[in-house]
């Protein structure tokens, strides 16, 4: 016999905690007519429609925590849940320990008690939601697959929705799990996620500034900076690590990367990345104010011209979840010089590319690489130029062998016969049969040329002359837009013959005047034809004056 007793009771649970996470209305307690069902009867729960919208992921997994009767309270613009029961025993066993650790009375085990505690102010946080999701997933609870943008029918009750990690693509990220109360009118949730960003810069020595492009001398220290921004609001993560994945072009030397690598972290997503001071083309290793050196917590793996820098746990490095909630900035600085096989000129340059791996979602396993997705790539480029000095005769431009030249760069280093730069004050180079001296792979700047000894039959120019190489167009925001322009100026007797920014080739002549052109001991600067003409005119003028004086004096004697 079925006995139905009609009584008035207060609503057992109204889903305030899930409404808080979905920005729905606050709790209201109402009275409804309920029924007590005697043992042996069955009660149909019904279904409700739900749609997961947005562009966070393409698929989601939905886990039911509680079954309930769900209705809409139109006056209060909210949903009301009654007859709350555990969805199944596996969920109950997974959820209760988490709630007990979070403050639920250890003696409480019923679905209604658990739901009422979760409904109380301040109990249901993003972090707790993530812990519940981890526990349910680990317990192997059965989920229902949801496709983004497609409406699905689910049994009425409380559901925990998490992004399917395998459906999170490049540039995407799973959000904290979402609590949704399904039943009554259709429900739409729109997960939003902010993703980390990565940038790459190279240190231009002349203004000591981080840029998207710089020029440098082959084998000189060349510093690169990788910078990552972790967005604010990632409260559901217990741990959070990132990985810089760097691919250098063949013209960059990776031999100094591992030893020079320094990694720094700063709290907050806003602000710059000046983690260290830079001066004279060098990056200091002492962290700037607000930055912490976490190099010892990081792992650097170099393979050929590619390497990976994996940070330790950024949540712990910043001092806990509260600091990490505001976001973080990570900067990795390392030295990768241009190699002897690097590209010269602006047409190709020597690009250096990076992308960032970051956790797919708060539920992802960060112990390996599977739990990570990645950002788009960013790059920076290093350029270098080649100077060719040719010793020539000023009379016919014939190349001259045997000239000894001392060539000094703007760091005070002297070019040696093997093409390297030395601090040996006696170092010099001698022109061969073709008259050439090559400065291959050099930075823009001022170079001083001094003639120690002239070829046989010629006179060396006195003092020192300078060549100034200027590269413009390197201070760009995007490497793709960089179109460096090279200008060259030189002091006589040096002559600029050609300057091609595309190939990086700069040609100059160093002119020598034959010794026989020496006039009365006066030797103009080599190749300065203007001075030669002035000297000749001066000699002719002097002769005319002498002749005039003789004629004048002779004429006076005849008159007497």
- pLDDT level of residue 54 (50, 70, 90 thresholds): confident
Least confident among 123-127, 130-134, 314-318, 426-430? 123-127
Using alpha carbons, list the distances in angstroms from residue 340 to 41, 222, 334, 408. 85, 14, 19, 20
* Predicted TM-score (pTM) of this structure: 0.82
- pLDDT level of residue 547 (50, 70, 90 thresholds): very low
Quick one: pLDDT at residue 45? 57
For the domain made up of 385-527, the CATH class stated in words is mainly beta
Domain range summary for the chain, segments of one domain joined by +? 5-189, 197-383, 385-527, 530-560
Task: Specify the DSSP element, H or E, that contains 299.
Answer: strand 299-303
Quick one: pLDDT at residue 516? 62
Quick one: pLDDT at residue 560? 31
Using one digit for the tens of pLDDT, what is the confidence trace for 88-115?
999 999 999 999 999 999 999 999 999 9
Strands 223-230 and 306-310, by their bridges, are unpaired
197-383 is a CATH 2.60.40.740 domain:
yes
Quick one: pLDDT at residue 479? 78
Task: Specify the DSSP element, H or E, that contains 323.
Answer: helix 321-324
H-helix segments, 103-125: 111-119
Average pLDDT, the chain: 85
Residue 552 has pLDDT above 50, yes or no: no
Residue 248 has pLDDT above 80, yes or no: yes
Using one digit for the tens of pLDDT, what is the confidence trace for 349-365?
999 999 999 999 999 99
Residue 480 has pLDDT above 90, yes or no: no
Quick one: pLDDT at residue 28? 24
Which backbone phi and psi does 453 adopt, to 5 degrees? -150, 135
Using one digit for the tens of pLDDT, what is the confidence trace for 180-204?
999 999 999 998 888 999 999 999 9
How many whole angstroms separate alpha carbon 255 and alpha carbon 304?
9
Using one digit for the tens of pLDDT, what is the confidence trace for 437-459?
999 999 999 999 999 999 999 99
Residue 549 has pLDDT above 70, yes or no: no
Residue 558 has pLDDT above 80, yes or no: no
How many whole angstroms separate alpha carbon 356 and alpha carbon 197?
8
DSSP state of 111: H
Quick one: pLDDT at residue 7? 25
Percent of the chain whose pLDDT exceeds 70: 84
Torsion (CA) 67, 69, 73, 76 in degrees, nearest 10: -30
Same topology, domains 197-383 and 385-527? Answer is yes
Using alpha carbons, list the distances in angstroms from residue 463 to 167, 337, 466. 71, 34, 10
Quick one: pLDDT at residue 122? 82
């Amino acid at each position: 016999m079925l006995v139905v007793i009609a009584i008035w009771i207060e609503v057992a649970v109204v889903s305030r905690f899930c409404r808080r996470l979905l920005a729905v209305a606050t709790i209201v307690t109402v009275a409804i007519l309920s029924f007590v069902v005697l043992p042996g009867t069955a009660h149909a729960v019904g279904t409700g429609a739900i749609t997961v919208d947005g562009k966070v992921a393409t698929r989601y997994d939905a886990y039911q925590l509680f079954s309930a009767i769900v209705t809409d309270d139109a006056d209060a613009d909210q949903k009301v849940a009654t007859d709350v029961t555990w969805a199944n025993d596996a969920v109950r066993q997974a959820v209760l320990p988490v709630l007990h650790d979070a403050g639920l009375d250890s003696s409480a085990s019923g679905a209604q008690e658990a739901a009422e505690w979760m409904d109380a102010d301040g109990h249901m946080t993003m972090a707790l939601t993530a812990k519940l999701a981890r526990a349910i997933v680990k317990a192997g609870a059965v989920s229902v697959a949801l496709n983004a943008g497609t409406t699905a029918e689910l049994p009425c009750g409380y559901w925990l929705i998490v992004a399917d990690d395998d459906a999170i693509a490049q540039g995407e990220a799973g959000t904290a799990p979402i609590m949704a109360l399904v039943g009554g009118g259709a429900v739409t949730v729109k997960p939003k996620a902010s993703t980390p960003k990565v940038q790459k810069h190279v240190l231009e020595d002349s203004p000591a500034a981080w840029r998207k492009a710089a020029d440098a001398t082959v084998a000189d220290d060349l510093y690169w900076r990788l910078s990552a921004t972790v967005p604010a609001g990632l409260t559901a993560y217990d741990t959070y690590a990132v990985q810089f994945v760097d691919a250098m072009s063949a013209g960059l030397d990776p031999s100094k990367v591992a030893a020079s690598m320094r990694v720094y972290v700063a709290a907050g997503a806003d602000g710059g990345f000046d983690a260290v001071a830079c001066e004279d083309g060098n990056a200091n290793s002492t962290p700037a104010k607000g930055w912490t050196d976490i190099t010892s917590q990081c792992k650097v793996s170099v393979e050929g011209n590619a390497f990976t820098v994996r940070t330790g746990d950024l949540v712990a490095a910043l001092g806990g979840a509260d600091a990490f909630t505001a976001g973080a900035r990570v900067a990795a600085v390392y030295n990768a010089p241009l190699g002897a096989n690097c590209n010269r000129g602006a047409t190709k340059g020597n690009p250096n590319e990076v992308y960032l791996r970051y956790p797919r979602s708060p539920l992802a396993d960060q112990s390996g690489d599977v739990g990570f997705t990645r950002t788009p790539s960013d790059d920076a480029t290093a350029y270098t130029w080649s100077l060719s000095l040719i010793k020539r005769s000023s009379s016919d431009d014939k190349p001259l062998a045997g000239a000894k030249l001392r060539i000094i760069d703007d760091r005070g280093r002297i070019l040696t016969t093997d093409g390297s730069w030395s601090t040996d004050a006696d170092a010099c180079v001698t022109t061969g049969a073709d008259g050439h001296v090559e400065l291959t792979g050099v930075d823009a700047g001022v170079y001083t040329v001094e003639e120690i000894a002239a070829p046989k039959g010629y006179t060396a120019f006195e003092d020192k002359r300078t060549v100034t190489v200027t590269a413009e167009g390197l201070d760009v925001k995007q490497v793709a837009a960089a179109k460096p322009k090279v200008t060259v100026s030189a002091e006589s007797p040096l002559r600029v013959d050609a300057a091609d920014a595309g190939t990086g080739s700069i040609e100059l002549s160093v002119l020598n005047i034959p010794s026989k052109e020496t006039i009365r001991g006066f030797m103009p600067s080599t190749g300065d034809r203007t001075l030669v003409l002035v000297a000749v005119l001066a000699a002719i003028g002097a002769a005319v004056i002498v002749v005039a004086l003789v004629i004048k004096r002779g004429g006076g004697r005849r008159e007497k």
